[in-house]
Chain A
Amino acid sequence: MRGVLRGGRLSRLVPSRPVPPEPAAPGEVLAEAEDLRVRLAGRLILDGVGVHVRAGEVLALVGPNGAGKSTLLGALSADLTPAEGTVRIHGRPTTAWSAPELALRRSVLPQSASLSFPFPVEDVVRMGRAPWAGTEREDEDDAVVAEAMARTEVTAFAGRPFSALSGGERARVALARVLAQQAPLVLLDEPTAALDLRHQELVLRLCRERAAAGDAVVVVLHDLGLAAAYAHRVAVLRGGRVAADGPPSEVFSDALLSEVYDQPVEVLAHPRTGEVLVTPRRVP
């Protein structure tokens, strides 16, 4: 049937299969933004941003509300067309990829997960496998879906409808769907917002594991402690520009964070482990 459709005039209805990407070498740039300017509703949200996202690395985007973190993530995921500058994914401008090709190269976790119809949790996670339909790796679907659910601890309610879940459970199901997509570039917009302490740690451990397996992970975070503990590199955004970019131990300083957040902040080392801790300075 598919062969007939491809050969005939209907071929445009069944596009040819996109080719999956080659595994990335460690350190390879999987996404980059150059001199990026993005306007939303007439307002300049990003004003000359440049970032590189490398394979094997967790990059955290931090900054105050309205700094442009989500917009930058949207540009990196090819949702937004920049007014100026370019965004490249796997070395090619985002506009040069088709939607199915992009789906094999980057996965995106949106800030809030919604669903129009009450699909059961397992079906939602399985939707992440859609880009692989018709490829050899389609056979792995069951195993990948089961593992993604196990890793995000949603297996227990795999049969329940998505609409019956709590906010935190939904967030984990959405993450499981993103993991099941197995794209080398993983973009997560505030994955920890709705989660309890234990699951926040779980999600960021998963990010590190994806990076260790050779993927590039970009994660928007509000919790600077989490960013300091789990990110290889942090990009601090302020007013649509990158205020600082580097390893958290170098970037996070009292002066920079206090200035960026317009709130006195103290950065100190954990007395026992030496980890970077970030805490607001409170007036007693």
Chain B
Amino acid sequence: MTVLDKPARPAAPAQGTPPRGRRGTAWLLTAALAAGLLVLVPVAAGTGAYPIPVGDVLGSLLNRAGLGGTALDRVAESVLWNVRFPRIVLALLVGASLGCAGALMQGVFGNPLAEPGVIGVSSGAAVGAVAAIAFGFGFLGAWTVPVFAFASGLVTVLVVYVMARAGGRTEVVTLILTGIALNAFAGALIGLFLFFADTAAVNQITFWQLGSLAQATWPKVLGVLPCAVIGLGLAPLYARRLDLLALGERPARHLGVDVERLRVVLILVIALLTAAAVSVAGVIGFVGLVVPHLLRMMAGPGHRFLIPGSALLGALVLLGADLAARTVAEPAELPLGVLTALVGSPFFFWLLRRTRRRQGGWA
């Protein structure tokens, strides 16, 4: 007996400690993701119907930041700062929120198939957003739609949580079926609101539902900023406790986690993040599913990397997807939600099959 005795004696040298490859991978991935964003942002800002060389983009950025550089001509400045940059910032915020919400949700449910889109939380948030648009509510200014989306999103997460859990755990089948039921109900409510809405609102909602960042403006950015920033800021504080939750609720409690409070706080955070994403960009599916999965396969399931990593990769993926959505079929624009679903659904199929194989069937 050495260090397991109490009071503790001088620590024996750790023997047989396995290589710390995973942690190295995490740092490498973080650096790669940050580098990816640094490259993709100026490229995305320069690409489009009105091309601006990347050098000019950087020059204009430096100029505005007061670090030298040169301002562009009036048209280019306007395109860059009134059209492209709000859209890029919005893509980054929405992507980070979706990625992070996916990672959190999978951790809270202890289930790798949990994702705001799949289990109906995005649709739930959409109900609030559609109601706000359809009935022309505007008493909270730019925050009206996000606040409505947050409220209905929160109710939906709570419903999923209560309905999909039995005996302290969430089974895959129950979770997915609950998602189907909720998606159907949310769809019905949205249809009802559309029925009562006037033509202009219907057009706005239809376009918004497909998932798009085309109408990005700075006020819209400001509208989702609080939700996204609070959510993204709080999430990493709970990383270690989420790791412990993987052991199950009781063992996590035995290790000092106040499980009830953790659950309540994280459900609020998930609702905030989902509302941030849904209120501006409609339902963009599968980002929250695919992103944490890829990272888990590369760097392991530890949430201390997974949560910030999912935010970074989510931002990168959505920025790339939006760039593709607006350039692939120029001058037309593909709806972003359609694009992510096209790529994400096959991944979901694969994941379902793999999970089924691992569990040896559902029933």
Nearest to B12 among chain A residues (CB) is A143
The bracket for how many chain B residues form the interface is: 35 or more
Q: Is A123 an interface residue (CB 8 A)?
A: yes
A159 smallest CB distance to B (angstroms): 4
A158 to B14, CA, bound (A): 13
A103-B256, A140-B8 are contacts. A116–B111 as well, Cβ < 8 Å? yes
A116 near B110 with CB under 8 A, answer yes
Cβ B16 vs Cβ A146 within 8 A: yes
Question: Which residue of A is nearest B19, CB measured?
Answer: A159
> Chain B contacts of A139 at CB under 8 A?
11
B15:A115 contact, CB within 8 angstroms: no
Residues of B with C-beta under 8 A to A103: 254-256
B244 touching A18, Cβ below 8 Å: no
Please give, as numbers and ranges, the residues of chain B lying within 8 Å of A179 by CB-CB distance. Answer: 4
Q: How far is the CA of A133 from the CA of B237 in the complex (A)?
A: 14
The reply to whether B3 and A104 form a contact with Cβ atoms under 8 Å apart is no
Count of chain A to chain B residue pairs whose CB atoms are closer than 8 Å in the complex? 132
| A129 to B330 alpha-carbon distance, docked (Å) | 56
Which residues of chain B are near A195, meaning CB under 8 Å? none
Query: B8 near A115 (CB under 8 angstroms)?
Result: no
CB contact under 8 A between A127 and B247, given known A150-B15, A179-B4: yes
Contact between A209 and B16, CB atoms less than 8 A apart: no
Mark out the residues of chain A between 117 and 139 whose CB falls within 8 Å of any chain B CB in the assembled complex.
Answer: 117-120, 122-124, 127-128, 130-131, 133, 137, 139
- Are the C-beta atoms of A107 and B243 separated by less than 8 Å? no
Q: Main SS of chain B's interface residues?
A: loop
A108 near B251 with CB under 8 A, answer yes
A18-B256 contact, Cβ under 8 Å, with A115-B247, A130-B244, A147-B12: yes
Within 8 A of A (CB), among B122-151: none
Complex contact B4–A130 (CB within 8 A)? no
Q: Which of B1, B7, B251, B257 contacts A23 (CB 8 A)?
A: B7
Contacts of A102 in B (CB 8 A): 254, 256
Q: In the complex, what's the smallest C-beta–C-beta distance from A169 to chain B, in angstroms?
A: 15
Whether A140 contacts B11 in the complex (CB less than 8 A), given A99-B253, A120-B22, A130-B256, comes out as yes
Within 8 Å by CB of B2, from A124, A147, A159, lies A147
Given A119-B243, A209-B1, A214 and B6 contact (CB-CB distance below 8 Å): yes
A137 to B6 alpha-carbon distance, docked (Å): 11
Complex: how many Å from CA A13 to CA B112?
27
Partner of A149 from B5, B16, B111 at Cβ < 8 Å: B16
Cβ of B356 under 8 Å from chain A: no
Q: Cβ of A168 < 8 Å from any Cβ of B?
A: no
Query: For residue B247, which residues in chain A have a CB less than 8 angstroms away from its CB?
Result: 113-115, 124, 127
Which of chain B's residues 1-53 have a Cβ closer than 8 Å to chain A? 1-8, 11-19, 22
Per-position binary interface string of chain B over residues 221-255, scored 1 when its CB falls under 8 Å from any chain A CB and 0 otherwise: 00000000000001001001001111110110111
Interface flag for A184 (CB, 8 Å): yes
A131:B3 contact, CB within 8 angstroms: no
Q: Knowing A79-B250, A117-B112 touch, does A128 contact B255 (C-beta < 8 A)?
A: yes
Number of interface residues of A (CB under 8 A): 60
Partner of B254 from A18, A107, A113, A119 at Cβ < 8 Å: A107
Is the C-beta of B296 less than 8 angstroms from some C-beta in chain A?
A: yes
Residues of A contacting B69 in the complex (Cβ-Cβ under 8 angstroms): none
**Contact partners of A79 in chain B: CB under 8 A:** 250, 253
Q: Are the C-beta atoms of A114 and B248 separated by less than 8 Å?
A: yes
Question: What string of 1s and 0s marks CB contacts (under 8 Å) between A86-111 and chain B?
Answer: 00000000000011111110111010
**Interface residues as binary, B255-269 with A (CB distance below 8 Å gives 1, 0 otherwise):** 111110000010000
Contacts of B248 in A (CB 8 A): 110, 114, 116
Chain B neighbourhood of A100, CB < 8 A: 256, 258
Q: Which residues of B contact A119 (CB under 8 A)?
A: 243, 246, 300-302
CA of A133 to CA of B304, assembled, Å: 14
CA distance A127 to B242 in the complex (A): 11
Closest residue of A by beta carbon distance from B250: A79
Report whether A144 and B16 are in contact in the complex, using a CB–CB cutoff of 8 Å. Answer: no
Contact A143 B255 (CB under 8 A): no
Report A-chain residues with C-beta under 8 Å of the C-beta of B12: 143, 146-147
Chain B residue with minimal CB distance to A5?
A: B237
Asked if residues B301 and A77 are in contact (CB atoms below 8 Å), the reply is: no
The answer for the CA separation of A155 and B18 in the assembled complex, in Å, is: 9
Instruction: Assess whether A104 is in contact with B6, with CB atoms less than 8 Å apart.
Output: no
Chain A neighbourhood of B19, CB < 8 A: 159
CA distance A144 to B12 in the complex (A): 8
User: A44 near B: Cβ within 8 Å?
Assistant: no
Report the separation of the CA atoms of residues A16 and B265 in the bound assembly, to the nearest whole angstrom.
18
A94 to B334, CA, bound (A): 59
Complex alpha-carbon distance, A158 and B18, angstroms: 6
B301, chain A: closest CB distance, angstroms: 4
Given contacts A77-B254, A114-B247, A155-B15, 10 further A-B contacts (CB under 8 A): A108-B250, A108-B254, A123-B243, A140-B3, A146-B17, A149-B16, A151-B4, A182-B6, A210-B4, A213-B6
